[in-house]
């Protein structure tokens, strides 16, 4: 139980810190193209490492924080919607690329990260254009497409730091650990019993 509390406490702290760093530091770096998107990397990373439900939950929470963050103005719920979907899809893709028992190689994870981070740009663009009301103030599609290469590149670079951290967090506090903990017998060291009927 306490592992689950620790897991969500760490994720909540990471979410607040990530949003603060995103608007006060990363968005002000004079870099070409997109802004390095630590927020999207965190959400997609949680989805990849922990699955769809944690991904969607963290996506919603972080998105809501980003919606109300200083420096950002726009319709409330826009980022929440966009990042909920991103976290969910990341979880689905991790199930797909990892298969039922294998673990996906790092390169695949970084590739999925870059692709999904780019997808959030298109999602944000689509929602902004949809909600703009006035066609003249809506951002052009080219404006979004121009951001895609740099967004994918920055996300891939950031994920090299974020994915191992999230994987470590999941190893220590994730559900797999909790399942193992109450059974100190030698059989419990193996997380997957050979046959389901091996109960005591």
Partner 1 sequence: MLRPARRTGHPVRLLAALLLASVTLVTVDLQVPQGPTAAVRRAGSALLGPLVRAGGSASDAVAARWDALARADATRAELERLRAANAQLRTALLAGEDARARAGQLDRLLQLTGAGGYRVVPAQVVAVGPAQAFRRTATIDVGRLDGVRRDSTVLAGGGLAGRVLRVQERTSTMLLLVDASSAVGARLAASRDLAVVRGDGSGSLRVDLLDADRPLAAGQRLVTFGSRGGTPYVPGVPIGEVVAVDGGAGGAAGRSGTVRPSVDPDRLDLVGVVVGGPRRDPRDPLLPRRSPAAG
Site for partner 1 in 41-80 (CB under 8 A): 48-53, 56-57, 59-60, 63-65, 67-80
Closest distance to partner 1 from the beta carbon of 100 (Å): 6
Whether the Cβ atoms of residue 47 and residue 86 lie closer than 8 Å to each other: yes
Kindly list the distances between the CA atom of residue 142 and the CA atoms of 146, 149, 178, in Å, as whole numbers in the listed order. 6, 12, 47
Residue 6 CA, distance from chain mean position: 18
Query: Per rule CB under 8 A, is residue 165 in the interface with partner 1?
Result: no
Closest to partner 1 by CB, 137 vs 185, is: 137
Of residues 15 through 34, those in contact with partner 1 by CB under 8 A are 16-17, 19-30, 33-34
Query: Per rule CB under 8 A, is residue 10 in the interface with partner 1?
Result: no
Interface with partner 1 (CB under 8 A), residue from 121, 158, 162, 169: 121
Rounded Cα–Cα distance for residues 114 and 155 (Å): 5
Q: Which stretch binds partner 1 (CB under 8 A): 4-12, 14-22, 180-188, 192-200?
A: 14-22
Whether the Cβ atoms of residue 66 and residue 109 lie closer than 8 Å to each other: no
Query: Per rule CB under 8 A, is residue 153 in the interface with partner 1?
Result: no
Closest to partner 1 by CB, 63 vs 183, is: 63
Q: Which residues contact 94 (CB under 8 A, 6 or more apart)?
A: 47, 48, 49, 51, 104, 109, 112
């Amino acid at each position: 139980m306490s592992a689950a509390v620790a897991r969500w406490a760490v994720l909540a702290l990471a979410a607040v810190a990530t949003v603060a760093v995103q608007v006060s530091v990363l968005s002000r770096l004079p870099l070409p193209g997109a802004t390095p998107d630590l927020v999207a990397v965190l959400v997609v990373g949680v989805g990849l490492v922990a699955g769809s439900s944690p991904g969607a939950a963290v996506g919603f929470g972080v998105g809501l924080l980003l919606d109300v963050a200083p420096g950002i103005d726009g319709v409330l719920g826009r980022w929440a919607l966009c990042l909920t979907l991103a976290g969910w899809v990341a979880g689905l893709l991790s199930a797909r690329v990892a298969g039922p028992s294998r673990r996906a190689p790092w390169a695949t994870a970084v590739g999925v990260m870059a692709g999904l981070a780019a997808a959030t740009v298109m999602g944000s663009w689509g929602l902004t254009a949809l909600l703009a009301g006035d066609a003249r103030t809506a951002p052009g599609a080219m404006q979004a497409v121009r951001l895609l290469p740099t967004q994918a590149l920055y996300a891939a670079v950031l994920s090299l730091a974020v994915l191992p951290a999230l994987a470590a967090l999941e190893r220590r506090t994730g559900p797999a650990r909790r399942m193992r903990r109450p059974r100190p017998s030698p059989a419990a060291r193996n997380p997957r019993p050979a046959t389901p009927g091996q109960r005591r």
